[in-house]
Amino acid sequence: MNKKAFTLIEVIIAISLLSIVIVTVLKIKENNFSNINKLNEINTNAQFLGIASSRLNINEDINKHFYMNEILEVKNNDFNKILKNTKVYVKSKIVNTSKIENKIINTIKTNYKIENKISTDIFTFKIEDN
């Protein structure tokens, strides 16, 4: 007996296996897109924190927030909307004071944070005459 056609069970099994493979591939692709979007958001927020830390000159204890459009002026309206919605929290405090000869050295720790997404600490030193 020569077999020239597939049986119904063979076709159902093949379709089931193909559908499992396709669903798996689509799920992997979806996860990759969400990971790429998260990395892009982290990178953008890190760049915003870099801009904020370079533009704001903080030498004393503060605890306040800024919107990025207050720190950076751009002419692109679409980008300006993003800046208006990005709030940077800045908290600064003197963590150490040292006296060397006739100089007072203050170590200032400044924390820059964008909501609960990303934050960074920057240490600066302020030297004053005694």
Which value, to the nearest 10 degrees, does the dihedral of the CA atoms of residues 124, 125, 128, 130 take?
140
Answer whether 42's CB lies under 8 Å from 117's CB.
yes
* pLDDT exceeds cutoff 60 at 129: yes
Assign 53 to helix, strand or coil.
helix
**Terminus-to-terminus CA distance in the chain, angstroms?**
106
Q: How far is CA 121 from CA 7, 14, 90, 112, 130, in A?
A: 67, 56, 10, 6, 28
Q: How far is CA 20 from CA 12, 26, 36, 127, in A?
A: 12, 10, 25, 66
What's residue 1's pLDDT? 57
Q: Identify the band that residue 55 occupies on the pLDDT scale cut at 50, 70 and 90.
A: confident
Listed ranges 10-14, 26-30, 55-59; the one with the highest mean pLDDT: 10-14
What's residue 91's pLDDT? 92
- Tell me the per-residue pLDDT of 63-108, one tens digit each, with 9 for 90 and over: 888 888 888 888 888 888 888 888 999 999 989 999 988 999 999 8
